[in-house]
């Protein structure tokens, strides 16, 4: 499984921490607070939901931190599942990531980025629904792939720049909410009247978008061999990065409440644009669009550089073409894996039948969240001799909280989602199960 080592330029702890944060802080934080506000009922509950979501994200971070330190190998999540349960669940996870989750998300995010570029600079970038728009989105995929071919270190420098701009934009939005709040809106915020459902039903429904906004902490584990001293660095960067995002999200949502009130957040999807306009005037919306474009670009950079290492792990497990496991002699880039990811993402982008397929596997992905949480409990019991440079604090609290949260998300989606989405998601998993044996036999000879 280990295969040839990684000899390219490696990521520092600073690079890895920003990568963790960049994988989480996307564009969701500019939209999901509306849904949370509609469902929470009052400002205090609104903030508590973000605290609870942060606690769950930190539990997941501690789980991945211990597993990542014990198995600092290419593929991360895939490796954890294989070590705990064998190759079949690991294969199913890689199947949905390759054919839907990561590549579909990459296509969707680049499309959104192209749209925000048009909103910010309409004179330079074409509007959505045009060939030019698809060309810009496709160019982002190819550009990110091309940059990563020069090595993860160079791609990380670009991601660091995007993350810095994100933080600057978030700081600006925070100051807009705290310093330019309209008194009548603030009064509505503190009135205690919410627009959401009564707890606990509203809280549970409001927690789902919070958890999705916190997702992405696992990306750094995919490319563990490309991190300096991963046994020590991974736990610190995962925990530190998630803690940083929790603080950022709480401060930003506090600013939203201060600037718009709960009713203002719940009233319209473009609440963040409204707050930017109140601070910067007519140019505020364009500034926010530019910030969201950069934010989406940063998430794309993280996805492009991290996910191909999962396909490297598949190859070294004997579940994929040998070429997928090869690294460039000088840069250490997984060239074939990067090319495959780009091709699948471009197919999704130009077919345009994307969003429903991606939505259909959300609960499936969370099934694997639950499995990786349980894998820590399982490996602690079955393999006590396993090196553990990092121990999850207050064990077994973190993996139990994480597993319960994953179970809650899966049950909630299955209960509320449209039957078509549920059956599509289950069909994708069933297809992976059906092809597993012939797929494995295809690569067993090498």
Do the Cβ atoms of 279 and 175 come closer than 8 Å? yes
Quick check: bond before 276 cis, omega within 30?
no
Report the 10 Å Cβ neighbour count for 413. Answer: 19
Angle at 212 between CA 209 and CA 217, to 5 degrees: 155
d(CA 446, CA 284): 58
pLDDT category of residue 179 using cuts at 50, 70 and 90: confident
**Nearest-CA neighbor of 159 among 275, 26, 18, 357?**
18
Q: Distance between alpha carbon 71 and the CA centroid of its chain, in Å?
A: 21
Q: What is the mean pLDDT of the chain?
A: 87
Does 137 have pLDDT greater than 80? yes
Residues 170 and 248: beta-carbon distance below 8 Å: yes
Among the four given CATH numbers 2.30.40.10, 1.20.1740.10, 3.40.50.200, 1.10.10.10, the one describing domain 13-443 = 1.20.1740.10
Q: Is the pLDDT of residue 184 over 60?
A: no
Question: What DSSP letter does each residue of 285-325 carry, written as one string?
Answer: HHHHHHHHHHHHHHHHHHHHHHTHHHHHHHHHTTSS-GGGG
**C-alpha span between 295 and 155 (Å, rounded):** 15
Residue 21 backbone zone (phi > 0: left; psi -120 to 50: alpha; other: beta): alpha
Q: Answer yes or no: is pLDDT of 193 > 60.
A: no
Looking at the predicted structure, is the pLDDT value of residue 226 above 70?
yes
Q: Which residue has the higher pLDDT, 41 or 326?
A: 326
Q: How many of the other CB atoms lie within 10 Å of CB of 200?
A: 9
The whole-angstrom separation of Cα 122 and Cα 116 is: 9
Per-residue pLDDT at 182 exceeds 60:
no
Please give the average per-residue pLDDT across 397-419, as a whole number. 89
pLDDT at 4 over 80: no
Q: What is the DSSP code string of 189-251? A: HTT---SSPPTTHHHHHHHHHHHHHT--TTHHHHBGGGBSSHHHHHHHHHHHHHHHHHHHHHH
Banded model confidence at residue 101, pLDDT cuts 50, 70, 90 = confident
Q: What is the mean pLDDT of residues 89-96?
A: 94
Q: Please give the Cα distance from 33 to 36 (Å, whole number).
A: 5
Asked whether residue 187 carries a pLDDT value surpassing 90, the answer given is: no
Q: Could you give the percent of the chain with pLDDT greater than 70?
A: 91
CA 363 → CA 206, 424, 431, distances in Å? 16, 11, 16
pLDDT for 223 beyond 80: yes
Which residues lie below 8 Å from residue 78, measured CB to CB, with a gap of 6+? 90, 93, 94, 310, 313, 314, 317
Give the tens place of pLDDT for each residue, 245-291.
999 999 999 999 988 889 889 988 888 888 887 777 777 788 889 99
Question: Is pLDDT above 60 for 190?
Answer: no
Rounded to whole angstroms, what are the CA distances from 187 to 43, 176, 260? 12, 17, 10
Question: Packing angle between helix 87-96 and helix 419-443, nearest 10 degrees?
Answer: 120
- Measured CA to CA, the distance from residue 217 to residue 239 in angstroms comes to 9
Where are the chain's structural domains? 13-443
Query: Per-residue pLDDT tens for 336-352?
Result: 999 999 999 999 888 86
pTM, two decimal places: 0.90
């Amino acid at each position: 499984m280990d295969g040839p080592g990684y000899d390219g330029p490696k990521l520092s702890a600073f690079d890895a921490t920003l990568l963790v944060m960049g994988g989480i802080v996307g564009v969701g934080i500019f939209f999901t607070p509306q849904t949370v506000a509609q469902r929470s009922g009052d400002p205090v509950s609104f903030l508590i939901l973000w605290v609870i979501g942060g606690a769950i994200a930190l539990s997941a971070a501690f789980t991945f931190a211990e597993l990542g330190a014990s198995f600092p190998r290419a593929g991360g999540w895939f490796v954890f599942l294989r070590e705990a349960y064998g190759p079949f669940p690991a294969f199913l996870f890689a199947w949905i990531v390759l054919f839907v989750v990561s590549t579909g998300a990459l296509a969707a995010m680049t499309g959104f980025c192209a749209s925000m570029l048009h909103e910010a600079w309409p004179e330079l970038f074409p509007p959505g629904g045009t060939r030019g728009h698809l060309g810009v989105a496709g160019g982002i995929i190819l550009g990110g792939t091309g940059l990563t071919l020069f090595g993860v270190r160079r791609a990380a420098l670009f991601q660091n720049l995007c993350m810095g701009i994100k933080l600057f934009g978030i700081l600006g939005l925070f100051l807009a909410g705290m310093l330019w709040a309209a008194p009548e809106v603030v009064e509505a915020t503190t009135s205690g009247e919410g627009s959401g459902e009564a707890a606990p039903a509203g809280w549970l429904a409001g927690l789902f978008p919070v958890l999705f906004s916190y997702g992405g902490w696992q990306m750094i584990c995919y490319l563990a061999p490309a991190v300096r001293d991963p046994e020590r660095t991974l736990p610190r960067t995962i925990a530190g990065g998630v803690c940083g995002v929790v603080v950022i999200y709480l401060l930003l949502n506090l600013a939203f409440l201060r600037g718009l009130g709960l009713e203002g957040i719940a009233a319209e999807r473009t609440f963040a644009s409204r707050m930017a306009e109140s601070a910067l005037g007519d140019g505020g919306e364009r500034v926010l669009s530019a910030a969201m474009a950069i934010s989406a670009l940063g998430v794309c950079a993280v996805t492009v550089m991290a996910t191909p290492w999962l396909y490297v792990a598949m190859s070294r497990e004997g579940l994929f073409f040998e070429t997928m496991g090869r690294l460039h002699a000088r840069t250490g880039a997984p060239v074939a894996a990067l090319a495959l990811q780009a091709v699948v993402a471009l197919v999704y982008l130009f077919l345009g039948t994307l969003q429903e397929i991606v939505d259909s596997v959300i609960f499936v992905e969370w099934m694997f969240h639950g499995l990786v949480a349980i894998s820590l409990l399982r490996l602690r019991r079955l393999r006590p001799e396993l090196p553990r440079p990092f121990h999850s604090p207050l064990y077994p609290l973190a993996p139990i909280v994480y597993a319960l949260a994953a179970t809650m998300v899966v049950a909630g989606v299955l209960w509320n989602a449209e039957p078509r989405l549920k059956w599509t998601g289950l069909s994708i998993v069933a297809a992976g199960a059906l092809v597993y044996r012939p797929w494995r036999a295809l690569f067993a000879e090498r």
